[in-house]
Amino acid sequence: MHLVQILLPLFDNNGEALGEDVFTVVRSELSERFGGLTAFTSAPAQGLWKSQGQTQHDEIVVFEVMAPHIDTNWWRGYRKDLERRFRQDTIIIRQHPVTLL
């Protein structure tokens, strides 16, 4: 089993707030494909990183799904689509193998 986490920004690269509708669509897509979803949306996390010598930041929410296997090609295509919809250079999607207890 794999836990897939998608880090989604609340603002686009120009600092404009993304509307709730873009998140609703992603929730629906992932729930339909994976049979469920966990969304951490009530207290946005802050991401910090260095870019060209300056510290950048984002406010993000995290969506998680559980998947029995990872279809790398599908996830790469989905990431590219999310980058377009969220107007981002890069969206982080990461997976962790998990053991259910």
pLDDT tens by residue, 33-44 = 999 999 988 666
Q: Is the pLDDT of residue 4 over 60?
A: yes
Q: Assign domain 2-97 one CATH number from 1.20.1260.10, 3.60.10.10, 3.30.70.120, 3.30.1490.20.
A: 3.30.70.120
Whole-angstrom Cα Rg for the chain:
14
Cα–Cα distance measured from residue 84 to residue 90, given in angstroms and rounded to the nearest whole number: 9
| pTM of the entire predicted model | 0.83
Distances in Å between the Cα of 88 and the Cα atoms of 66, 68, 92, 94, 96 are: 25, 28, 10, 16, 23
Q: Is the pLDDT of residue 47 over 80?
A: no
* pLDDT in the model for residue 39: 92
Cα–Cα distance measured from residue 98 to residue 101, given in angstroms and rounded to the nearest whole number: 9
Q: pLDDT (tens digit, 9 = 90+) per residue, 57-84?
A: 678 899 999 999 999 999 999 999 999 9
Per-domain residue ranges for the chain? 2-97
Helix (H) or strand (E) segment spanning residue 76: helix 72-85
